[in-house]
Amino acid sequence: MEIRVAIFEDNKLIREALQTIINGTSGFVCTGTFANVNQVEADILFSRPDVVLMDIEMPGRTGIEATKIIRENFPKVKVLIQTVFNDNDKIFNALCAGASGYILKTDSPMKQLQALEEVYNGGASMSSTIAQKVMQFFVRQNVILVQPQQMDFDLSTREKEILSLMMEGHNYRSIADKAFISYETVRTHIKHIYKKLHVASRSEAIMKARQQGLL
């Protein structure tokens, strides 16, 4: 089953490059490209995406405004913000608007595809740069981050194997190939891993695995 992606990006070259990357990757299909979000509701109805790849700064409405509209009117559609901006206000405004993830345009195509796949599967994807900004926010707000006690999360042998492959940077399809299981089985295992670790994304799962010495 292909992940349907709609692109909202005002830069024509970037928009076409993203479309080419998505359509050229197995398991993905671009169902629409749009230069602005002034008619975002009609565009979503037309393209019927699973995930929206959303720029922030566009003529007319901003990507953050559009994200809020999408989340209110199409709750099953996930929004992945992609931008050159990494300042705190835009990050938190986007996340508060309901974005499922936030990556930078400087991230590699592989990371962008992984982020699309992760938010499609229910995760909350962030590039390492954005994750650092989030951590800095908590520090500035005087939120004390306590080192967790060692815990037994009851991961199965197969779940540990998949978590190890995630830590090596493999995406869902690569994990399926290496573990000789189906893509849907990988999705199921990763959902169980997230539930057992009490996390919502690959980066959180990897961080917790390292903190807890799970592998």
Q: Along the 215 residues of the chain, how does pLDDT read in single tens digits?
A: 799 999 999 999 999 999 999 999 999 999 999 999 999 999 999 999 999 999 988 888 899 999 999 988 998 999 998 877 666 667 777 777 788 888 888 888 888 898 899 889 887 666 666 666 655 555 554 444 444 455 668 899 999 999 999 888 788 888 999 999 999 999 999 999 988 888 877 777 887 787 777 76
Q: Write down the pLDDT at residue 86.
A: 64
Cα separation, 214 vs 164, in Å, equals 9
Cα separation, 38 vs 28, in Å, equals 25
Q: Write down the pLDDT at residue 46.
A: 96
- 101-104 and 28-34 as β-strands: parallel, antiparallel, unpaired? unpaired
Domain 157-212: assigned CATH number? 1.10.10.10
Phi, psi (rounded to 5 degrees) for 101: -170, 170
Q: Write down the pLDDT at residue 90.
A: 72
| Distances, alpha carbon 101 to alpha carbons 11, 24, 31, 178, in Å | 21, 22, 20, 27
Q: Residue 53: which of 86, 84, 81, 20 has the closest Cα?
A: 81
Is 49 within 8 Å of 78 (Cβ atoms)?
A: no
Can you give the residue ranges of every domain in the chain? Answer: 3-140, 157-212
Measured from the Cβ of residue 210, the count of other Cβ atoms closer than 10 Å reads 11
Query: Same CATH topology for 3-140 and 157-212?
Result: no
| Topology classification of domain 3-140 | Rossmann fold (3.40.50)
Q: Write down the pLDDT at residue 146.
A: 47
Q: Write down the pLDDT at residue 105.
A: 84
Is 78 within 8 Å of 52 (Cβ atoms)?
A: yes
Helix (H, G, I), strand (E, B) or coil at 115: helix
The model carries a pTM of 0.66
